[in-house]
């Protein structure tokens, strides 16, 4: 039997970045957005968990703070998959017959 991760255990990359990277550095979203060359709105949406981390944004965080982009992308993928699994009963697909 496979072990299933509960959706609440998966962390959105933006939430983690906000609490573990951005806040400890004491930088505002506006200042960080300017530094990273992205819009304040796009960065705010990510940090508040309203949009998913993109590979481009992961590279920008890697260059700005040294956090590995591939680690951030795996974190986002685990979160996205946990959210989809939580809605799996709503996905109406039958097994394909061989």
In this prediction the pTM is 0.85
pLDDT at site 97: 87
pLDDT digits (tens, 9 = 90+) for 46-96: 999 999 999 999 999 999 999 999 999 999 999 999 999 999 989 899 999
**CB contact at 8 A, 61 and 21:** yes
CA 25/CA 27 separation, integer angstroms:
6
**CB contact at 8 A, 61 and 67:** yes
- Place 8 in a pLDDT band, splitting at 50, 70 and 90: low
Which CATH fold would you assign to the domain 10-86?
Answer: 434 Repressor (Amino-terminal Domain) (1.10.260)
Average pLDDT (21-39) is 98
Residue 43 has pLDDT above 90, yes or no: yes
> What is the domain partition of the chain in residue ranges?
10-86
């Amino acid at each position: 039997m496979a072990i299933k991760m509960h959706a609440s255990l998966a962390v959105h990359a933006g939430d983690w970045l906000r609490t573990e990277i951005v806040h400890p550095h004491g930088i505002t979203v506006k200042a960080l957005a300017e530094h990273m060359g992205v819009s304040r709105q796009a960065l705010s949406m990510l940090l508040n968990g309203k949009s998913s981390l993109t590979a481009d944004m992961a590279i920008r965080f890697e260059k700005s703070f040294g956090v590995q982009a591939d680690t951030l992308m795996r974190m986002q993928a685990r979160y996205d998959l946990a959210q989809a699994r939580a809605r799996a009963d709503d996905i109406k697909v039958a097994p394909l017959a061989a």
